[in-house]
Chains A and B, each alone.
Chain A
């Protein structure tokens, strides 16, 4: 399989990154050490190349009505320069992808799907656009996405970007709330800055036109260095999001999963209505409405390891027999890492509802041995 290279590929190679295939892209797994990069984001800041993420523009007078029909959220209610975490579901309620949608101008929206699902989402949106006065376009090739995440992120941003009321969209960096965005200047260029992320820290995601991506990356590296910023790879991104209790498509989410299974039922707006007040029949609504009232067959839970060995995706969650051996299977691990911040293993798993209560003592079958884990409320880590 051929992989796509980020516009920042040569920068990563020059920094000595260990590259890996991810969602069809050749991306940095780590630059030096997963743990050091993870800790830098918790204590100072990390710089991420997220150019593998998709980018779909949705514009036109019926853009909001179209998104209300195509996605599970309520976009007619989303104010300009705000963003929303949402999902796109199939008719049967299964999740095709989770994505963030930005309302970045009048009748103008920008959807960011996962790299591996970018084509699926584009095709689904184009199909669902029939009958709406809307234009759906893949604009990802012209854009790079760079994230600055960590407690020093705002200071670093101010070193490199400048505010300009002409392009800000009516807000300022001072007032920029979580899940809000504004236009800023990088030299003469305009970039879109959003206070969003996937790390559990304060931070920003910045869209820049591809020809200026290298210059912005270098400026952020240099400007952030005095604050302790380091480039960080996908390995740190994964352990950071897992500590923050955020799902990853392909692990916690897939087409056999509904938003309710994943504990994200709150983002499904079953009661959204058209302009005239009639209930809105969005894609997947009937299946999701039924699912919202049914008893779940499985529940996504957090697991805290009390031993040293981490659980991994695909391992069985089990009861322990009286003599401490692997017993009956009651679930499956979807993600697991040794938590760099907490110092013990953490994991997410789908388990039977009867063993999903906080404090339930279970085990994970780690290559034949019952490693003890306890059901724990997520997020595992919350910033102070």
Chain B
């Protein structure tokens, strides 16, 4: 079973979120492993109000397209333009430079601890 950073929380849709203000959101190493090489990112617009559990973008890999869900509700305040320009960052550093967007959190969906997520992801 893989280890996931214990300072983050996770959604069943394989996003992670930290406890910053604003909070940073990305996808997990497990998701990246399943996706393969990421070639295109469509992220929510800065300023958008988004709802926990809703589809807010797309992650496209060489072989497939996946929807990006937000694990929390709130206002998007920044998106990772560096990752948009170089989507391979999501593969190489999913918990670091490959983060996706920052959000002012107004509400949370169901979030898992690292240990719970590890059991979910298997």
Contact = CB atoms under 8 A, between A and B. Distances in A.
Contact of A18 (B33, B39, B58): B33
Contacts of B36: 18, 29-30, 33-34, 235
A242 B8 CA distance: 40
A271 to B, nearest CB: 42
Given A235-B62, A337-B62, A308 B40 contact: yes
Interface residues of B, number: 12
Contact of B37 (A33, A309, A367): A33
Nearest to A337: B62
A247 interface: no
Interface string A227-241: 000000001001100
28 contacts: A18-B33, A18-B36, A29-B36, A29-B63, A30-B36, A33-B36, A33-B91, A34-B36, A34-B37, A34-B62, A35-B37, A35-B62, A235-B63, A238-B63, A308-B40, A309-B40, A309-B60, A310-B39, A310-B40, A310-B60, A312-B65, A337-B63, A338-B39, A338-B40, A338-B62, A340-B62, A367-B58, A367-B65
B33 to A, nearest CB: 7
Nearest to B92: A33
Interface residues of A, number: 17
A108 to B, nearest CB: 39
Contacts of B91: 33
A309 B65 CA distance: 10
Contacts of B37: 33-35
Interface string B73-96: 000000000000000000100000
Interface string A346-384: 000000000000000000000100000000000000000
Interface in A279-326: 308-310, 312
A238 B36 CA distance: 14
A129 B65 CA distance: 45
Interface string A23-62: 0000001100111000000000000000000000000000
Interface in B80-122: 91
Interface of A: 18, 29-30, 33-35, 235, 238-239, 308-310, 312, 337-338, 340, 367
A138 to B, nearest CB: 31
B63 to A, nearest CB: 5
A29 B36 CA distance: 10
Interface in B1-57: 33, 36-37, 39-40
A46 B27 CA distance: 30
A312 B91 CA distance: 21
B33 A239 contact: no
A3 to B, nearest CB: 19
Contacts of A18: 33, 36
Nearest to B36: A34
Nearest to A239: B62
Contacts of B58: 367
Given A29-B36, A34-B63, A238-B63, 7 more contacts: A18-B36, A34-B36, A34-B37, A309-B40, A310-B40, A310-B60, A337-B62
What are the nearest 9 A-B pairs in CB distance? A338-B39, A34-B62, A35-B37, A34-B37, A34-B36, A33-B37, A235-B63, A309-B40, A308-B40
Contacts of A309: 40, 60
A162 to B, nearest CB: 38
